[in-house]
Chain A
Amino acid sequence: MESVRKKRRKARVDETLCVACGCCVKVCPLGAIAVVNGLYARVDTARCVGCGKCAKECPASVIEVQEVEV
């Protein structure tokens, strides 16, 4: 394993504007996003590969794929 810090793309949900509809959950190929307690969606950053499918689907457009350091 290399020890260099890598940038990875991960989805991020704006929880304050999420309507908890679950459209993102249906399209994520990795099961990396889930609706918590009917309140908002949350991303499991360990599993998310940043493909952006959820962001495209989200009817409220509250998901952004961002670069994060891992």
Chain B
Amino acid sequence: MKKTNQKHWYDYLWIASLLYLILGFFNILFAWLGILCFFIPLIISIVRGNKAYCNRYCGRGQLFSLIGGRFGLSRKRDVPRWMKSKAFRYGFLIFFFAMFFQMLWVTGLVFAGAADLRQVVTLLWTFKLPWHWAYHGTLIAPWMAQFAFGFYSVMLTSTVLGLITMILFKPRSWCVYCPMGTMTQLICKARHAGEKNSDKSDFVTEK
């Protein structure tokens, strides 16, 4: 019988997720790399019509299962019923994107010269954390730095939320309401709408 729980290169992508957060602490421009976590899952779900990103490659999910599972920093309780409801998941997706576009708007203002660069990271859309040490210069346009601060805020906020629910509930409970996970599932729904689920379905298994 084939061994099913073998380790693959992509099982180590949690290192990349961790590195991302660390690097952004020292130089905010690394935050730009985070757009990979937006485009890769989107492209996979649109082109291939599956959630291989979640199922295999997502380093953030791996990081939560490592800290919450292996290191035991989780109560391992069931998430409350409302958290897995469509209303909450879709609602959170909409809220998340509204905040995302607001961040892009601020970047646009800085680009247009209508606002000054603010060297802060906004946690949970509310708390402004000083982060000026991670900004080193004038070589790049201010709007590029503004976007980096904004994007890092998004990533840090979702990590903190994920850590909180990791501790309270199951290690990967962030995946229940993760906007990227919800969105790629919706794209898959649209891609496969009207198909009768045959057994020829595109399985994503660990092989």
Whether A associates with B in a native complex is yes
How many residues of A are counted as interface, with CB atoms below 8 angstroms from the partner's CB atoms? 26
Contacts of B169 in A (CB 8 A): 59
Residue of A nearest to B182 (CB): A19
Q: Tell me if B184 is interfacial: C-beta within 8 Å of chain A.
A: yes
Query: Are A59 and B5 also in contact (CB < 8 A) when A20-B185, A20-B188 are?
Result: no
Query: Are A29 and B5 also in contact (CB < 8 A) when A58-B170, A59-B170 are?
Result: yes
Q: Tell me if B71 is interfacial: C-beta within 8 Å of chain A.
A: no
Q: How far is the CB of A16 from chain B (nearest CB, A)?
A: 9
Contacts of B50 in A (CB 8 A): 35, 37-38
Q: Tell me if B55 is interfacial: C-beta within 8 Å of chain A.
A: yes
Contacts of B45 in A (CB 8 A): 38
0 or 1 for each of B6-48: is its CB under 8 Å from A? (1 = yes): 0000000000000000000000000000000000000001000
Q: How far is the CB of B159 from chain A (nearest CB, A)?
A: 16
Contacts of A21 in B (CB 8 A): 51, 54-55, 61, 172, 175-176, 181
Residues of chain B in range 161-207 having any CB-CB distance to chain A below 8 Å = 169-176, 181-182, 184-185, 187-189, 191-192, 195, 197, 201-207
CA distance A36 to B203 in the complex (A): 5
Residue of A nearest to B52 (CB): A38
Residues of chain A in range 1-42 having any CB-CB distance to chain B below 8 Å = 17, 19-23, 25-31, 34-39
Q: Assess whether A38 is in contact with B171, with CB atoms less than 8 Å apart.
A: no
Q: How far is the CB of A3 from chain B (nearest CB, A)?
A: 28
Residues of chain B in range 40-98 having any CB-CB distance to chain A below 8 Å = 45, 49-52, 54-56, 61, 65, 69, 76, 78-79, 84, 89
Contacts of B2 in A (CB 8 A): 31
Chain A interface mostly: loop
Contacts of A29 in B (CB 8 A): 4-5
Q: Assess whether A39 is in contact with B181, with CB atoms less than 8 Å apart.
A: no
CA distance A65 to B169 in the complex (A): 20
Q: Could you say which of A17, A23, A25 contacts B204, with CB atoms under 8 Å apart?
A: A25
Query: Are A37 and B201 also in contact (CB < 8 A) when A29-B5, A59-B79 are?
Result: yes
Please list the residues of chain B having a beta carbon within 8 angstroms of any beta carbon in chain A: 2, 4-5, 45, 49-52, 54-56, 61, 65, 69, 76, 78-79, 84, 89, 169-176, 181-182, 184-185, 187-189, 191-192, 195, 197, 201-207
Q: What are 20 inter-chain pairs, A to B, with CB distance below 8 A?
A: A19-B185, A20-B181, A20-B185, A22-B51, A23-B65, A23-B172, A25-B55, A29-B5, A31-B205, A34-B203, A35-B203, A37-B191, A37-B201, A38-B51, A38-B185, A57-B170, A59-B170, A59-B176, A60-B84, A60-B173
